[in-house]
Structures are given as structure tokens and as C-alpha cells.
Amino acid sequence: MSLEESVDAPPVVETEAPVAEPIVVEAAPSFRPGPAGWVARGLVMAAAAALVLLFPATRGNVDVHIYTQAVIFAIIGLSLNVLLGYTGQISLGHQAFVGVGAFTSAYMVTVHGQPFVAAVGMAMVVGAVQALLLGIVSLRITGLYFALVTLAYGTMAEESLFNIQKLTGGSAGQPAPKPAGFTTDLRYYYLCLAFLAVVVWVDWRLMKTKGGRALSAVRENPRVAATFGTDVKVYTLMAFVVAGVFAGLGGALLAHNDTFVVRDLFNFQLALVFVIMTVVGGLRNRTGVVIGSAFFALIGKLFDVLFENGLHIPGLKALPKEYAPIVIGPMLLLFTLTRHPGGVGQQVRPLQRWLRGGRFSFKNTHESEVRVSDVRA
């Protein structure tokens, strides 16, 4: 067969003319909300903004302190979501990243007299380094065994890293004063909210650009990702670094919220609460993760409010507040995993679509199972 067709091959011309038969699909009728619809959406968004921005100003310091913790948990949840949700890597020792970030920031401020900004920056760097090291391990040890390694790392951090006297101040803990200019609880709350906004922005841009797409491909089908030109190793490590940076940030903010870091806080239960709040929030769903994480931080408060308003469950009142997340958490986790893999995010999706100008409907919210990378060939 001769090649006369291509002997004088013309330069590449991308024509619009289809080379193959077009496949016709029934398009859904496009929907545009009327003016009343837009007003309604605007009101809902305004209400949400008011709740987040204005409501805390009306409350006392103790409450605001917990709201700040909710915001910080949201940051940590988003950090874990990058690993667990986007990249499909498991991290059962996330409390170690957060804890090391917390202690680093406290250490920088208290022992080295560094300003808040430098301390937080250092915490992010340290978080990134830890995560990178674990990421390198993940290239060699995959799936289930890697989950085990992260777990062992978390326990080791608990018993070893957090006992380094100089860093953590031993059992007495390390002070971590709030930064100048943000010394009141309310101001610190707004500061953390600003950080959360930055994290959400970066997360949003990540998933809308080539980095996030690469992660999704790596999670689902690394061979295809490689064929599409993605360096699987580099992007896996990148995911760990991003997660580590956010976790370090969360840890630092946590330290200064409490103005004091104690090592007992960063135990195995916390690691699981982090995983639970991210999974229950809904993997890969930013809003769901934020809501889920905030929920877990606020559980104790939630119970208080319920009890004040007459909720009676025998024995439940005796449950110390600190234990509430770890009682409720596993139940929600098991419920989510077995019945409702999309988590809170799945519930929220119809609302999100409505807010963006679509129709409010419960169709097409189905999320497939909680996929976390399994042992790869």
C-alpha cells in the first residue's frame, strides 16, 4: 500500500469537521433561575456568611474558642482530604503531623522568640518534611501495609517525638501565646477563618488545575496517569507535601488557640477522629469535609445545647465532653462506610448545585464507595 496520501503531509490542522460520526445525546433542558430564585439563593448565602462571620461576635470567649477549634479542624480535615480523598493514600498517623506542627510553632515562639508568622511558617515546613518522608516510604510500601506504617509512625511520634524535652516541654507542655494584634479570642477566630479561606482557595485551585487532575488520575489508575504524562511518583509526593503543609498550619493554629500545647492531646484517638471527620464529611467534597470537621469539633458544645433544651438520654449526660467525639465518631464512621459512602458531602450536594444556579434535586448525588488506594501491583 503506497503512502501517497501522506507523502506531502500538510502541517497539523485541527479542523472542526468531525472525523467520526457524532454521538448524539439528549441534553438536559438548561435551567435558569428567575429573579426570585436568585434572591432566595442570595439570602441563603448571606445567612451562611452571617452565621460564620457575625454570630461568634455575639458569644463569649469560651464559645469563640471552640468555634476557632472548629475552623482549625476544618483545615486539618482538608489536609487529610488531600491525601485520603484526592490521592487515595491513607494516613492513620495524621495527628503526628499536626502535633509536630503545634510543638514547632510553640517552640519557635517560646524558646526562640520568633514572631508568630515565622513560627507558623516553620510549622508548615516541618509538616511538609515529615509528610515528604512518609511519602517517600509510600512509594515503596503501598496500600494496606502503608496504612500500617502511618499508624506505627503516629504511635511512635506519641511515645518518642513528643517526649523530646526541649521541643515539647515534657509533660508540662509548651506555652504558645497568641500573636500580637490578635490576642483576643474573637480576633484570633477571624485570623483562623482567614487561614481557612486561603486553604480552601488553594484546595479549589488545586483541583481545578493540572495538579489536582493528576492526583485524581493517580488515585484511580496510575498506569493511565503515566500514559497521560503524569510523573506518578512526583505527584504522589506533592500530595503528601501539600497535606503536610496544611496539617502543620493546623497544628500551629491549634497550639496558639489553646495558648498551651500538651503532648497528651496528640494521641491515637485523635488520629482516628481526623480520619472519621474526613470520611464522614465526604471524601473529595470540600464543603462536606469542612462541615464534618467542624461538627466533630463542636460535638461537645452541641450536646450542651441539646441538654439545656431538654434532651434526655439516660447516662449520656454523664459522658464527659472530651469523649463525645470518640463515642459518636466511630458510629458515624461505620454508618457512613456501610450505608452512605458520600458522607455529609453527598447530602450537601443538592444544596450546592442549587446555590450555583441549578435546580434543587436529589438525583445524581450518588457517590461510589469510599475508594482508598489498595495494594497496587
Partner 1 sequence: MSVLEVRSCSIRFGGVQAARDVSLRAGEWEIVGVIGPNGAGKTTTFNIITGFYRPNEGSVWFKGRDVTGLGVHERTALGMGRTFQNVGLVKSATVRENLLTAQHLEAGYSALAGMVGLPSTFVAERRLGQRAEALAGILGLGDLLESRVAGLPYGVLKRIELAAVLATDPDLLLLDEPTSGMGPEEAHAFGATLLELRREFDLTVVMIEHHVPLVAQVCDYVYCLNFGELLAEGTPDQVRSNPEVIRAYLGQEAEEVLEPGDRGVPEVTV
Partner 2 sequence: MPNLLASRSALVATAIAVVVAALMAASGQKQALVIGVITGAGYGLVALGLVLIYKSSGVFNFAQGEFGTVAVYTLFRLHDKIGVPLLLAMLIGLAASMALALATERAVIRPLFDAPRVTLLVATAGVALLAISLELWLGEARLRFIQPALGRLDRISLFGVQVSDQRLLVLAALLMLAVLLGLFFSRTNLGLAILGVSQEPVATELMGISVRRLSSFTWALTGLLAGIAGMLTAPVVGSFGPGFLTFNALIPGFTAAVLGGMTSLPGAFVGGVIVGVAQSFAVSGFQDVPFLKEIPGPGAVMVFVILVVVLAIRPQGLLGKAS
Which residues contribute to the site for partner 1 (CB under 8 A)?
1, 3, 5-6, 9-25, 27, 201-202, 205-206, 208-214, 216-217, 220-221, 223-232, 235, 238, 242, 368
> Is residue 326 close enough to count as binding partner 2 by CB under 8 A?
yes
Q: What are the cell numbers at 296?
A: 466533630
- Mark the segment that binds partner 2 (CB under 8 A) among 94-102, 147-155, 240-248, 297-305: 147-155
- What span, in angstroms and rounded, lies between the C-alpha atoms of 237 and 135? 5
- Mark the segment that binds partner 2 (CB under 8 A) among 10-18, 115-123, 288-296, 329-337: 329-337
- Provide the CA 322 distance to its chain's centre, in angstroms: 22
Partners of 175 in beta bridges:
260
Residues 34-93 within binding reach of partner 2 (CB under 8 A): 90, 92
Rank residues 339 and 363 by Cβ distance to partner 2 and give the closer one: 339
> Is residue 160 close enough to count as binding partner 2 by CB under 8 A?
yes
Half-sphere exposure of 368 (CA within 13 A, CB side): 4
Single out the residue of 46, 53, 79 nearest to residue 289, CA to CA.
Answer: 79
Identified binder of partner 2 from the candidate list 39, 46, 156, 197, rule CB under 8 A: 156
| Sequential DSSP letters for 164-203 | -HHHH-GGG-EE-PPPTT--SHHHHHHHHHHHHHHHHHHH
Question: Shortest distance, CB of residue 232 to partner 1, whole angstroms?
Answer: 7
Q: What are the cell numbers at 84?
A: 485520603
Question: Shortest distance, CB of residue 190 to partner 1, whole angstroms?
Answer: 22
Question: Shortest distance, CB of residue 207 to partner 1, whole angstroms?
Answer: 9
Identified binder of partner 2 from the candidate list 194, 198, 331, 351, rule CB under 8 A: 331
Rank residues 228 and 323 by Cβ distance to partner 2 and give the closer one: 323
Contacts by residues 109-112 (CB-CB < 8 Å, ≥ 24 positions apart):
109/176, 109/177, 109/256, 110/174, 110/175, 110/176, 110/177, 111/166
Rank residues 9 and 318 by Cβ distance to partner 1 and give the closer one: 9
Rank residues 178 and 219 by Cβ distance to partner 1 and give the closer one: 219
As a whole number of Å, the end-to-end CA separation of the chain is 42
- What span, in angstroms and rounded, lies between the C-alpha atoms of 315 and 312? 9
The count of other CB atoms within 10 Å of the CB of residue 267 is 17
Contacts of 369 (CB under 8 A, 6+ apart): 341
Residue where the block lists cell 493554629: 253
Q: H/E element holding 260?
A: strand 260-261
Question: Shortest distance, CB of residue 59 to partner 2, whole angstroms?
Answer: 28
Identified binder of partner 2 from the candidate list 39, 184, 317, 374, rule CB under 8 A: 374
Question: Shortest distance, CB of residue 206 to partner 2, whole angstroms?
Answer: 23
Rank residues 216 and 259 by Cβ distance to partner 1 and give the closer one: 216
- What span, in angstroms and rounded, lies between the C-alpha atoms of 316 and 318? 5
- Yes or no: say if 142 and 376 are a contact pair by the CB < 8 Å rule: yes
> Is residue 172 close enough to count as binding partner 2 by CB under 8 A?
no
> 374 contacts which partner out of partner 2, partner 1, none, CB within 5 to 8 A by kind?
partner 2
Q: What are the cell numbers at 107?
A: 517552640
Rank residues 179 and 341 by Cβ distance to partner 2 and give the closer one: 341
Question: Shortest distance, CB of residue 326 to partner 1, whole angstroms?
Answer: 32
Q: What are the cell numbers at 208?
A: 481545578
- Cα-based torsion angle of the residue sequence 200, 201, 206, 209 in order, rounded to the nearest 10 degrees: 140
> Is residue 238 close enough to count as binding partner 2 by CB under 8 A?
no
Question: Shortest distance, CB of residue 276 to partner 2, whole angstroms?
Answer: 7
Rank residues 163 and 209 by Cβ distance to partner 2 and give the closer one: 163
Rank residues 153 and 188 by Cβ distance to partner 2 and give the closer one: 153
- Return residues touching partner 2 (CB under 8 A): 90, 92, 137, 140-141, 143-145, 147-149, 151-153, 155-156, 158-161, 163-165, 268-269, 272, 275-276, 279, 318-320, 323, 326-327, 329-331, 333-334, 337-339, 369-375
